[in-house]
Chains A and B, each alone.
Chain A
Amino acid sequence: MNAPLRNSRKIFDFHGGIHPPENKTQSSGQPIRSVSLPEELVLPLNMHIGAPAKPIVNVGDQVLKGQKIADANGMVSVPVHAPTSGTVVAIGPHPIQHPSGLDAPCIIIKPDGEERWTALHPITDWHKCSPSVLITRIREAGIAGMGGAGFPTAVKMSLKEGTKIQQLLLNAVECEPYITADDRLMRERADEIVRGIKILQYLVKPAETLVGIEDNKPYAIEAMRGAAQGTDIQIVVVPTKYPSGGEKQLIQLLTGKEVPSGGIPAQIGVVCQNIGSALAMHRAIEFGEPLISRITTVTGDALSNPGNIEVLLGTPVKHLLNESGVKENRLGRVVMGGPMMGFTLHTTNIPVVKTTNCIIAASTNELPEPAPEQPCIRCGSCAEVCPADLLPQQLYWYSKTSDLERAQQYNLMDCIECGACAYVCPSNIPLVQYYRFAKGEVRTQVAEQQKADNARLRFEARQARLEKEAAEKDARRKARLAASKQKAAGVAAPSVDVKALKAASLEASSAYKAAVKELKAAQADDANNVAELSAKVDALKAKADSAKAAVRDANSGAAAPAAPSVDLKALKSASLEASSAYKAAVKAVKAAEQNGDDNVAELRAQADSLKAKADTAKAAVRDANAGTAPATVAAADPVAELKKAVGEASSAYKAAVKAAKEAEESGAEDAAALRSQADQLKATADTLKAQLRDAKDAAPAATAPAPTSAPAAAPEKDHTAERAAKMKALKTSYNMLNKMLKDSNAALERAEREGSDNLDAQRARVEDVKRQADAARNELNDLVDQAKAGIRASGSDLKTMKLEAARTESALRKKMKELDEMKKSADEERINVLYQERDLLKREADIAANALKSALEEQGLTE
């Protein structure tokens, strides 16, 4: 063995470092061997840094060797594969490799011993593939950093655009005592490692490639030098010192550069990979094999057969120890990892994972119980050996007193927890535990601070919301107060008019009373002008009544909403008066005819005109009646109403014509007046006829007589289907917009918390989305209403629809009355509730009315 241990390349040095006894010869003499299949394989879902993988198999599934059983969960994650064929017996918590001893979700497979492989897809000509394809393959193969950290390799390889890598470093240093896995790997599989390095070179395109190996592995150096001959891979030998194998220290050692605190090596143009990972990449790409096994050094005093084993992932440590001849009664400590940075296992039932490079089954002689902590004598040995050039002493003092701020000022978070300081401390102080405790406290504090800030934001938002609600209630109450004040002011104005009208009415009624007296006197005297007088009486009565009506109108002018009913009453009374006047006139005519008076024609004409008046009054009453439910029968009734009006007008006209004719024949004085009256009535009748014609023309367009109702119903149905489709589309679009709104709101909150720059843009976006969502919702509501109306119109017959319309209408009126009552009390809440209910009912009533209208239009004006 005469490979020179010196390099042509200059190497640097890092500060500090220790030289613990190596203890490597126990396990480095024998080649890598395999062990039998264990009873079960336990695969934790978090064998790497990042989010735990998600299982994609179920209990009871049969899996093949290399089959993916858990998928990567997010960007920084890797999948998990079945190490051998078998059955999934459980997916659940199981003790895992962690110093806490806590459980974590695992997939437990019972091997069937057949080792059936799943389909593999090697890429033999990988230099023709794009790097992203290879990186995806690496990720899918589940490769994580196998030197002990477990960072997903694919993420490390995915460099940002424009990153130029100067050096690709391969970490074959293996500085920790006891571990010889990489040593044996290099001795036996150097060619495959070099092929893996070539893949790395293709992905990273570095200016130079360096493999760092410690000088305590002469055979490995020779093997690697031989395999790398003819390539541009440089094998660099570094002096044995712990912790040369730490990524940061190796970079400083080989390149002299320092990774900035909190940064990654890619920032200084360096990529560092363990050679075990390089080998795994080679297997993954050129053979298509996922990462399902690794080389683990199993060593320690308590074993009779220490060495390196190619272990299937998930093999319980217990199995490995048994296969290496463990003497249970000598077991004092089981360490997963090296003696400087590994963690103890509280049970041997824990599985081997992707980052397990060593298992030390130590007796109490070899790794004795820790000595009690003595006071720190401030000797400074710890600062001498710290590879990160920290002041461990100061960190110790501040961690001990939980002075986290000061500890962080002394760069606590830069500690790589290598254990060199605790190794040399003469007082046996567990320094690394102090730093781990302090780091945990810092992280907890940061998390708590974030939670407190979040709680404060929520609290303030809640306060704001409560204040806003209170302010709104206040504003509403004020508005109502102002409105009621205004109303009270509006009532006072018409009183003056009322007074005048009242006076006129009094006059009219007194005149009427006088006329009555006169008539009575005339009747008693049996005078000639009885008929005259009685007619006069009637006329005066009508006048008096109309005056009274006017007064009543004026009085009720303030209460406008109740107008229809008042009008109705007035109209009714007017109509009654008109008809009574007419009847009186008829009586007078009859009397005159009996008496053979001259003015019979006159009187007859008068009676006719009074009839006309009475008829119009009746029509007005009917109109008013119909007017209170304008929406319900507005469409259909105008036609019928118009018909009636036309009929009445024409009869009145005819009567007037007759009266005029007779007056003309008899040569009465007011024949001209009567003739003009008749003309007027004709005009009225004509206009009414024209209106009727128009209404009739309009109606058939909207209505469809029964035979054609089917085609109308068909477009209606199509319309319904169309509308349903439109509604569905609107619903989905509204849901999407709602989700977008929520997302953009959340993004805005996050941006506000982090204080990012584009807050305004975010806010604008949120507003936009909100607007769209609102528009969609309104449209949707309209369609829903239409649909409801459509359903009602098509589903029920006319009578029920009319009933429905009437019912909703009356319910609405009742609610409004209730509301009026409630307005007197100041119960804000109740009033608001009633407002809402009233609005609901109004909408219902509108829907029913529209439905009835459309139904009537559909089915013609049947009555």
Chain B
Amino acid sequence: MTTVLIAVAALLLLAAVFGGLLGFAAEKFKVEGDPIVEQIDALLPQTQCGQCGHPGCLPYAESIANGEDHNRCPPGGEQTVEALSELLGREVLPLDAEEGADVGVKKVAYIREDECIGCTKCIQACPVDAIVGAAKLMHTVIVDECTGCDLCVEPCPVDCIDMLPVTPTLGTWTWHKPDGIGLKSENIIPVVNV
């Protein structure tokens, strides 16, 4: 009987000691804020387009940290879903994009300057200030800064903004993946006698 009592007492003592340690650590080493939100935000593509239903990437990151599905970012594509799954330890969900949404196709806005009336509505809409211009003066898109988020197209009253796909240049061209097992990777192009 005494052994039982001793065992119980010993366990109680251990529990108390470790509980105290944990409580102390919880207070002393408490981390202000939630660093996971920043880590999630670092994986999102920062187009600030709102397709996920949140006004920007950081709010979506916060709601993901609170448990929302992490598959709602079409510009990020599958890659982002997988990266987020790995970070959060959740399962990889299929991308929750609407029908017809262009997933993974990079686009850049282009303003048809002949039709621009200089109303600055698109400038106010752009989340990264990628449109240069002023009231009653020509507006134009800084291509390097444009993230292709689409937010400028709606406010334009004369509908003069197009979303054009980014064409590869010598600097951005890369080899495509071989076709796979059972298939030959080859292009056969006729000899062009120029």
Contact = CB atoms under 8 A, between A and B. Distances in A.
A630 to B, nearest CB: 40
B122 to A, nearest CB: 14
- Among B46, B172, B185, max chain A CB count under 10 A is at B46
Given A372-B184, A437-B176, A437-B178, A102 B169 contact: yes
A429 B182 CA distance: 10
A328 B176 CA distance: 29
B59 to A, nearest CB: 12
Interface string B37-50: 00001001111100
B109 to A, nearest CB: 13
A288 to B, nearest CB: 32
Given A100-B173, A458-B129, A331 B191 contact: yes
Nearest to B47: A455
A448 B185 CA distance: 27
A456 interface: yes
A346 B47 CA distance: 37
Given A430-B185, A456-B46, A459-B46, A346 B192 contact: yes
B175 A437 contact: yes
Contacts of B177: 399-400, 402, 433-434, 437
Contact of A436 (B45, B175, B179, B187): B175
Given A371-B184, A453-B46, A347 B194 contact: yes
Interface string A99-137: 111101000000000000000000000000000000000
Interface stretch (A17-25, A439-447, A673-681): A439-447
A373 interface: yes
Interface in B143-175: 145, 147, 168-170, 172-175
Contacts of A411: none
B23 interface: no
Contacts of A456: 41, 46, 57
Contacts of A795: none
A234 B130 CA distance: 60
A375 interface: yes
B14 to A, nearest CB: 41
Contact of B186 (A104, A369, A375): A369
B78 to A, nearest CB: 9
A20 B175 CA distance: 25
Contacts of A462: 127-129
A373 B182 contact: yes
Nearest to B149: A455
A93 to B, nearest CB: 11
A399 B47 CA distance: 27
A462 B168 CA distance: 30
Interface string A282-309: 0000000000000000000000000000
Contacts of A455: 46-48, 128, 145, 147
A105 to B, nearest CB: 10
B180 interface: yes
B189 A346 contact: yes
A441 B78 CA distance: 14
Nearest to B174: A440
* Majority DSSP secondary structure for residues of B touching A: loop
A371 B182 CA distance: 9
Interface in B45-101: 45-48, 56-57, 79
- Among A400, A429, A459, A462, max chain B CB count under 10 A is at A459
A349 B191 CA distance: 9
B36 to A, nearest CB: 17
Nearest to A99: B175
Contact of A375 (B47, B181, B184, B187): B181
B183 interface: yes
A207 interface: no
B46 A433 contact: no
A451 interface: yes
Interface string A333-351: 0000000000000111100
A462 B46 CA distance: 14
Contacts of B47: 452, 455
Contact of B168 (A102, A346, A399): A102
Nearest to A441: B174
Contact of B174 (A328, A436, A451, A453): A436
Contacts of A453: 46
B173 to A, nearest CB: 4
A448 B45 contact: yes
Nearest to B78: A402
A276 B166 CA distance: 40
A303 to B, nearest CB: 15
B16 to A, nearest CB: 44
B192 A347 contact: yes
A458 B46 CA distance: 10
A455 B189 CA distance: 40
Contacts of B44: 452
A370 interface: yes
Interface in A73-107: 95, 98-102, 104
A349 B129 contact: no
Contacts of A443: 174
Interface in A773-797: none
B25 to A, nearest CB: 31
Nearest to B145: A458
A92 to B, nearest CB: 14
Interface in A407-437: 429-430, 433-434, 436-437
5 contacts: A101-B189, A104-B170, A375-B181, A441-B174, A455-B47
Given A104-B170, A372-B182, 10 more contacts: A100-B173, A102-B173, A347-B192, A349-B193, A370-B184, A402-B79, A436-B175, A451-B147, A455-B48, A459-B127
Interface of B: 41, 44-48, 56-57, 79, 127-130, 145, 147, 168-170, 172-187, 189, 191-194
For the complex of A and B, the 7 pairs showing the least CB-CB separation, nearest first, are: A440-B174, A452-B46, A458-B128, A436-B175, A347-B192, A455-B46, A100-B173
